[in-house]
Amino acid sequence: MVHKLKIAAAGLGRMGKRHAVNFLHRTPRAELVAAFTPDEGEMAWAKANLEPYGVKLYSDYEEMLNYPGLQAVVIATVTKVHADETLSAIAKDLHVLCEKPISLSIEKSLEVVNAARAKPHLKVMCGFSRRFDSSYRDAHEKMEAGVIGRPAIFRSQTCDKHDPSGFFVQYAALNGGCFVDMSVHDIDLALWFFGEDSIIKSVAASGVAVVQPALREHNDYDNAVGIVEFWGGKIAYFYNSRMMAHGQEDTTEIIGTSGKLVVNGNPQANFVNIYSSAGITREVPPHYYGRFEYAFVTEANEFTAAALDGTKLPLRIGGALRAVEIGSYLQEALTTGKKLYFDETGQPIEKSKL
Amino acid sequence: MVHKLKIAAAGLGRMGKRHAVNFLHRTPRAELVAAFTPDEGEMAWAKANLEPYGVKLYSDYEEMLNYPGLQAVVIATVTKVHADETLSAIAKDLHVLCEKPISLSIEKSLEVVNAARAKPHLKVMCGFSRRFDSSYRDAHEKMEAGVIGRPAIFRSQTCDKHDPSGFFVQYAALNGGCFVDMSVHDIDLALWFFGEDSIIKSVAASGVAVVQPALREHNDYDNAVGIVEFWGGKIAYFYNSRMMAHGQEDTTEIIGTSGKLVVNGNPQANFVNIYSSAGITREVPPHYYGRFEYAFVTEANEFTAAALDGTKLPLRIGGALRAVEIGSYLQEALTTGKKLYFDETGQPIEKSKL
Amino acid sequence: MVHKLKIAAAGLGRMGKRHAVNFLHRTPRAELVAAFTPDEGEMAWAKANLEPYGVKLYSDYEEMLNYPGLQAVVIATVTKVHADETLSAIAKDLHVLCEKPISLSIEKSLEVVNAARAKPHLKVMCGFSRRFDSSYRDAHEKMEAGVIGRPAIFRSQTCDKHDPSGFFVQYAALNGGCFVDMSVHDIDLALWFFGEDSIIKSVAASGVAVVQPALREHNDYDNAVGIVEFWGGKIAYFYNSRMMAHGQEDTTEIIGTSGKLVVNGNPQANFVNIYSSAGITREVPPHYYGRFEYAFVTEANEFTAAALDGTKLPLRIGGALRAVEIGSYLQEALTTGKKLYFDETGQPIEKSKL
Amino acid sequence: MVHKLKIAAAGLGRMGKRHAVNFLHRTPRAELVAAFTPDEGEMAWAKANLEPYGVKLYSDYEEMLNYPGLQAVVIATVTKVHADETLSAIAKDLHVLCEKPISLSIEKSLEVVNAARAKPHLKVMCGFSRRFDSSYRDAHEKMEAGVIGRPAIFRSQTCDKHDPSGFFVQYAALNGGCFVDMSVHDIDLALWFFGEDSIIKSVAASGVAVVQPALREHNDYDNAVGIVEFWGGKIAYFYNSRMMAHGQEDTTEIIGTSGKLVVNGNPQANFVNIYSSAGITREVPPHYYGRFEYAFVTEANEFTAAALDGTKLPLRIGGALRAVEIGSYLQEALTTGKKLYFDETGQPIEKSKL
């Protein structure tokens, strides 16, 4: 009989539910044995949707980690507890798949990275789902195969459908700002396509708060543009927005010396086109899950395989930290209005020394 | 605990493997308990891929049907045994999901339909996967919602990537010809969009054997076009081909009095576009499974739900028979070169009586 | 100084105006010297738009032909006078560019063809504008260069935007029916891509009158589908419609043994896409002139060059006749409901002899 | 008879030839009466292509301005003489259409602007061809009609096909750098869509010299990205490149509070798609003229109408100056690596005062 990875799910909010269901129903080599949530509404959902499949439910995270034979945990709780929950799991010798970001604090993130490095037999991964998306992977393979020559320019955007409820304004205070919360995915992709060891040279950014002016109270914006220059002749530029009328539009261009790869240049919800007196129309997924659902399924399966077989994961916990770090520099450039400079080791150069 | 539908898989060829895996790993409310194949190579695959998950393997179909507590069977064996295997399963009071076609013989098909109708508590379904595809469903819902007015013209094609190995030539002798084997999907869609009770008025068809001239020995073609006129002012026209250079291209247009819906007018394998000195290129899925993979998963899940809960299926076994019947008329029109006519009850009109 | 072709325009209706303006302003080597119309409204337009540029106006066609030094005439009057006006012009030794069709009568058309052949120094052309369209030409060149192997299947449609005014119903009585009036362009393209000497083997068609039921009084339809089989393993199939909600959609596919060329698979009015809560929308040209404007300009220029330099035209008057002839067979198949058969010389086979 | 604008063409290089031919053959209300070139090769072309149509040729610019009855001149000589030739023409009371830029010197440009303002009866225009492109105009009208709400973010790129001959390296020394030479079109569009009176707040830019490293000797780059922030909550960001493998790709997005307009998001040379074993491919225009040919024709016609009728032009000479000025700031930000800041009147803020 197949040996399955015994995994527990922590946090059953929007994304937590999806992780739990993916490990329960769409990851053949994993067995979701336990789930934790401190929230009553989420617990009710778990009783209806997880318990009937034999999943044991907990309202205490640490208690859940004592589930007999538990091997791994997927963490999708609120950001502020990610790091401590990950540290607890590592301490119990569990593999960890943690939603991004590990922490908004670089120091705390480093603590997690170091704990993970101290136990190299454990798989500790921060979930950058686009790394598991088949289109991004196809583009990366094509680039590796030389289809576009040497990559030099990288454009990527994370653009959400406008949510008039103002949910994002509340969320803004907790999430580190638009470059850390949204563009971090694009930054991670830039590192993947340019090389994980790419070193930043300068960072500049500008933003506006157009449809959610209240974001300015939280020092945040609903549209922002940033440029990250890397040493060695590479430039990435980013756009994030929470103002799209049509739906989610996460588009990436990788431009090389002899060609270009575009991922999702023409968003579409499905294969239907509507021909009407308005013209020809196609619909667009309203949310990122409409675009990346199967990337999350692949993530669950590959994390499981890595934990069971010791195979390599497509990204290490340290890489996630670098993306958050660059996102924080962009955020600093955005909120101060200043351009930031870095030396050839990636260390910030004081303005007074320029 | 969830009660799962105990299901067995018959036939583990290309499509049989996929059905088995879908019921094993991607259908939460089903439990694949048994599988049958008379083929040694397929049995070896089953030992490696099914047995470790607790699936009992059989080299005898009837024996498998005696698996204790079995409730359903999915049949993906060779066409000529579909009908008898379905009849055996119905006799044992099992739900059946059978790959199309039930039979190349209308009489034999009718026998199955009648057996199924005699046991209305059983779900007996012929697998027309496109009925479960999210894009086709979206188009159908839009039509039902009045987006295109009254549908009047239906264009649909099933076009396979050219297989220079000549596999199709061998296959041709067994499969009933291009309209029965390929266009039957498009015909079924026409009935779905025009109404299951649409009555044919005339049928005409023309074909050529261009890349596989040997098909002519089997009275078949590798490219064929047909028109089906229905009573009440509706026309469907079809194209099937086994000659595509670029990949699978199954496209459908539903044209109404105030708009048009197009499904898969622009085939694409994924969201990547390649910009090179050749221009801008996107790749296309090489096979129908690249286009319809998730339709098969939905099919497995909805069949399971219908069997467990007694809910309605999107198509009945009788409907499948009608699609095959129209396909057979197109095939007759194709091979004889004659146009066929039908009265307002759908009965053929003898040419001498015209 | 450049010698310019002195040309006159006959008929100043919708298309006549465009021809006159094209020869006046967009054909450097031509000089529009005269124009004729029997219509008062058109004459008023001519006084405002042609006369100021030195164009002499006539209300009598024959009189205009006596304009001193006249070398050519472009005819865009009503269909029923096309043939006689062309014969008059040939008699006066003038080059002729005549709008299609020459005549709805095959006999009358033949008379024109013979008159033209008797004066081989004259350029007598029937305007099939798509032959001058840069996209169709690019596709033809690619086919000639072997990009798709040997062409075997040809799909082409002429689909007009629905005109609720019912203009087409009135027009229908005069125009020979939908295959002769609309699909004749697609048929001409089929002959161009398959070879002008392609010989028809069978013809079948079906039609419906959905949005203009009054067309049935004129024995015509607003949507029709037809198949033309050619000797030598080639099939063309056609769709015409006057029911499009979104605009003009003239699409052509040429399918060969190793590839496919599609012309205008994704109609668009311009390069703008609108992203809104409805999704992503592009507009479509409302009329054929929005799609083919520059083809008409090229036509005027190439006709002029051919008349001045004696160079070859892309199509001869006889070819136009063949397209109309095939259109008439499709029309016969449509209105009688019968499939028509032809021998290897293209002669109709009597049904009684089948 | 129509009164035509007597116009002369100065400079018959690549673009000069096109202007001359457009005014000669495609501008009904203009008469090209004279042309000037100091270049022997260009003069030979003019003798073959202009003289036969009655155009008088000159090898001296000032002499040409004395052509009897001359009313206007179109200037497409080398950049360094644009300003002086424009001043001479204004002094002779001629309307002027001058290719961009008027001058690389802001002072010299201002001199021209002031000369033009002193003679308000003259039309003096700097040619920003995209203002005359039907797609950009359609987008602008849609924005004005409120389709996207209030515009806030503007993305635009000018990307040329890679020219391995190195022509651009030579050209680079003369043209003011990539933001002035290329992005100036995008900047002009930003001013058009955001409002001509938009005031810059900050400017940042980064560039690389990837395929033409020799550009670094001229302090220039072959790929550059820049952000221009405007007072009042608007951001424009730009990308220019001379490295495209596939052809010209000039794309613009205008993003508003309730929608987005994209111009040329999917470049295409024509309406042909090629389906082959590589997938589905469309070709792209190799040069800007393939994309903007008809914009130049419209420009010639509207300039002529404005000169003859005194009607308003879509852009004034002063606006062109502003685009060049912003381009120069981007160029400064690019070459110094610094972010530049401006006060609410658009005046630069000294870094030391920040």
Residue C208 and residue B153: Cβ atoms within 8 Å?
yes
Q: Which amino acid is at B90?
A: I
A130-183 tens-digit pLDDT = 999 999 999 999 999 999 999 999 999 999 999 988 877 777 767 789 999 999
Determine phi and psi for D334, rounding to 5 degrees: -70, -50
- How many C-beta neighbours within 10 Å does residue D311 have? 10
Structure tokens at C243: 């029911």
Residue A257 and residue D211: Cβ atoms within 8 Å?
yes
Interface of B with C in 221-260 (CB under 8 A): 223, 225-227, 229, 233-235, 237, 239, 241, 243-246, 255, 257-260
Interface test mutation site (partner A, options C161, C244, C246, max chain A beta carbons within 10 A): C246
Q: What is the model's pLDDT at position B167?
A: 78
Q: What is the model's pLDDT at position B323?
A: 92
Q: Give the contacts of A284 (CB within 8 A, at least 6 positions apart).
A: A246, A247, A248, A249, A267, A268, A269, C275, C279, C280
A135 has a chain B CB within 8 A of its CB? yes
Q: What is the mean pLDDT of residues A240-252?
A: 97
Q: Give the contacts of A158 (CB within 8 A, at least 6 positions apart).
A: A182, A183, A185, A186, A239, A240, A241, A250
Taking phi first (over 0 means left), then psi (-120 to 50 degrees means alpha), and beta for anything else, what does residue D151 get? Answer: beta
A142 contacts on B by Cβ (under 8 Å): 272, 274
Closest-CA distance, B290 to chain D, in angstroms, reads 14
Is the pLDDT at D171 greater than 70? The verdict is yes
Neighbouring chains of A at 3+ CB pairs within 8 Å? B, C, D
Residue D272 and residue C135: Cβ atoms within 8 Å?
yes
Q: What is the mean pLDDT of residues D280-298?
A: 96
Which H helix or E strand runs over A139?
Answer: helix A134-144
d(CA B187, CA B175): 16
Specify burial of residue D22 (Cβ count, 10 A radius: 0-12, 13-18, 19+): buried
Taking phi first (over 0 means left), then psi (-120 to 50 degrees means alpha), and beta for anything else, what does residue B75 get? Answer: beta
d(CA B181, CA B188): 12
Considering CB atoms only, which of B2, B263, B271 is closest to A263? Answer: B271
ipTM here: 0.95
Structure tokens at C267: 């109609």
Taking chain B (354 residues) in runs of 10, the rounded mean pLDDT of each run is 94 97 97 98 98 97 98 96 97 96 88 95 93 97 98 98 83 82 96 96 97 88 97 97 97 98 98 98 96 97 96 84 93 96 94 53
Q: Which amino acid is at A42?
A: E
Q: What is the mean pLDDT of residues D311-330?
A: 88
Q: Helices B106-118 and B79-91, interaxial angle, to 10°?
A: 20
Taking chain C (354 residues) in runs of 10, the rounded mean pLDDT of each run is 94 97 97 98 98 97 98 96 97 96 88 95 93 97 98 98 84 82 96 96 97 88 97 97 97 98 98 98 96 97 96 84 93 96 94 53
| Closest of D131, D293, D114, D284 to residue D196, by C-alpha | D131
Q: What is the model's pLDDT at position D192?
A: 97
A291-347 tens-digit pLDDT = 999 999 999 999 999 999 999 988 878 888 899 999 999 999 999 999 999 999 999
Q: Which amino acid is at D89?
A: A
User: Do the beta carbons of residue B131 and residue B315 sit within 8 Å?
Assistant: yes
Structure tokens at C184: 């004749």
Structure tokens at C118: 């008797």
In the block, residue with structure tokens 């951001």: D235
- How many C-beta neighbours within 10 Å does residue B161 have? 20
Give the C-alpha distances (Å, rounded to integers) separating A8 from A12, A71, A305, C230. Answer: 11, 8, 16, 67
What average pLDDT is seen over chain D?
A: 94
Residue C225 and residue B227: Cβ atoms within 8 Å?
yes
Q: Give the contacts of A206 (CB within 8 A, at least 6 positions apart).
A: A224, A225, A226, A334, A337, D202, D204, D227, D229, D235
d(CA D305, CA C140): 39
Q: What is the model's pLDDT at position A217?
A: 87
Put the strands of the sheet holding C56-58 in their side by side order. C56-58, C30-36, C5-10, C72-75, C95-99, C124-127
In DSSP notation, A75-93 reads E-S-HHHHHHHHHHHHHTT
C262 has a chain B CB within 8 A of its CB? no
Considering CB atoms only, which of D135, D258, D275 is closest to C260? Answer: D275
A216 has a chain D CB within 8 A of its CB? no
Q: What is the mean pLDDT of residues D253-265?
A: 98
Closest-CA distance, D61 to chain A, in angstroms, reads 42
Q: What is the model's pLDDT at position D1?
A: 79
Q: Give the contacts of A174 (CB within 8 A, at least 6 positions apart).
A: A78, A79, A80
Strands A72-75 and A151-161: unpaired
Strands C200-208 and C223-230: antiparallel
- How many C-beta neighbours within 10 Å does residue D54 have? 12
Closest-CA distance, A291 to chain C, in angstroms, reads 15
Convert B240-273 into a string of H (helix), E (strand) and C (coil). Answer: EEEEECCCCCCEEEEEECCEEEEECCCCCCCCEE
| Closest of A296, A287, A307 to residue A16, by C-alpha | A296
DSSP lists the bridge partners of residue C97 as: C74, C125
C162 contacts on B by Cβ (under 8 Å): 258
Q: Higher model confidence: residue C171 or residue D338?
A: D338
C247 contacts on A by Cβ (under 8 Å): 279
Structure tokens at C235: 């099939």
Q: What is the model's pLDDT at position C173?
A: 67
Taking phi first (over 0 means left), then psi (-120 to 50 degrees means alpha), and beta for anything else, what does residue C135 get? Answer: alpha
| Closest of A177, A201, A133 to residue A327, by C-alpha | A177
User: Do the beta carbons of residue A75 and residue A98 sit within 8 Å?
Assistant: yes
A4-59 tens-digit pLDDT = 999 999 999 999 999 999 999 999 999 999 999 999 999 999 999 999 999 999 99
Structure tokens at B237: 């026209």
Strands C5-10 and C72-75: parallel
State the pLDDT confidence band at A352, using cuts at 50, 70 and 90: low
For the stretch B266-294, what's the b/e string if a residue is b when 16 or more beta carbons lie within 10 angstroms of its beta carbon? bbbbbbbbbbbebbbbbbbbbebebbbbb
Q: Helices C106-118 and C317-336, interaxial angle, to 10°?
A: 170
Q: What is the model's pLDDT at position D28?
A: 96
Put the strands of the sheet holding A56-58 in their side by side order. A56-58, A30-36, A5-10, A72-75, A95-99, A124-127
Interface test mutation site (partner D, options B241, B277, B284, max chain D beta carbons within 10 A): B277
State the pLDDT confidence band at D352, using cuts at 50, 70 and 90: low
Considering CB atoms only, which of D152, D204, D245 is closest to A210? Answer: D152
Interface test mutation site (partner C, options A248, A277, A282, max chain C beta carbons within 10 A): A277
In DSSP notation, A260-275 reads EEEESSS--SSSEEEE
Give the C-alpha distances (Å, rounded to integers) separating D69 from C153, D55, D97, D300. Answer: 61, 14, 17, 19
d(CA D324, CA D100): 9
Q: Which residue from D minimizes the CA distance to A147?
A: D245
C24 contacts on D by Cβ (under 8 Å): 28
D279 has a chain B CB within 8 A of its CB? yes
Structure pTM? 0.96
DSSP lists the bridge partners of residue C184 as: none
B272 has a chain D CB within 8 A of its CB? no
Q: What is the mean pLDDT of residues A57-69?
A: 98
